[in-house]
Amino acid sequence: MPVLERGLIHVYTGDGKGKTTCALGAALRMAGHGGKVAIVQFLKGWSFYGEIAGLSYLPNVRLEKTGRAEFVDKRAPLLDDFAEAERGLTLAEGFLVSGSFDMVIMDEINVAIDYGLIPARSVVGALRRRQPWVEAILTGRNAPGELIALADVVTEMREIKHPFKKGLASRMGVDF
The reply to whether 108 falls in a domain is yes
The reply to whether 126 falls in a domain is yes
The reply to whether 171 falls in a domain is no
Q: What is the pLDDT of residue 144?
A: 98
Cα 42 from Cα 108, distance rounded (Å): 5
Cα 78 from Cα 75, distance rounded (Å): 10
How many domains, the chain? 1
The reply to whether 121 falls in a domain is yes
The reply to whether 172 falls in a domain is no
Cα 109 from Cα 126, distance rounded (Å): 13
The reply to whether 1 falls in a domain is no
Indicate the pTM of the whole model. Answer: 0.93
Q: What is the pLDDT of residue 108?
A: 97
CATH at residue 63: 3.40.50.300
Q: What is the pLDDT of residue 148?
A: 98
Residue 103 is part of which domain span?
9-166
Q: What is the pLDDT of residue 162?
A: 80
The reply to whether 4 falls in a domain is no
Q: What is the pLDDT of residue 50?
A: 79
User: By the 8 A CB rule, do 11 and 154 touch?
Assistant: yes
pLDDT tens for the chain, 176 residues: list them: 899 999 999 999 999 999 999 999 999 999 999 999 999 999 987 776 778 888 989 989 999 999 998 889 999 999 999 999 999 999 999 999 999 999 999 999 999 999 999 999 999 999 999 999 999 999 999 999 999 999 999 999 999 888 778 888 887 777 77
The reply to whether 87 falls in a domain is yes
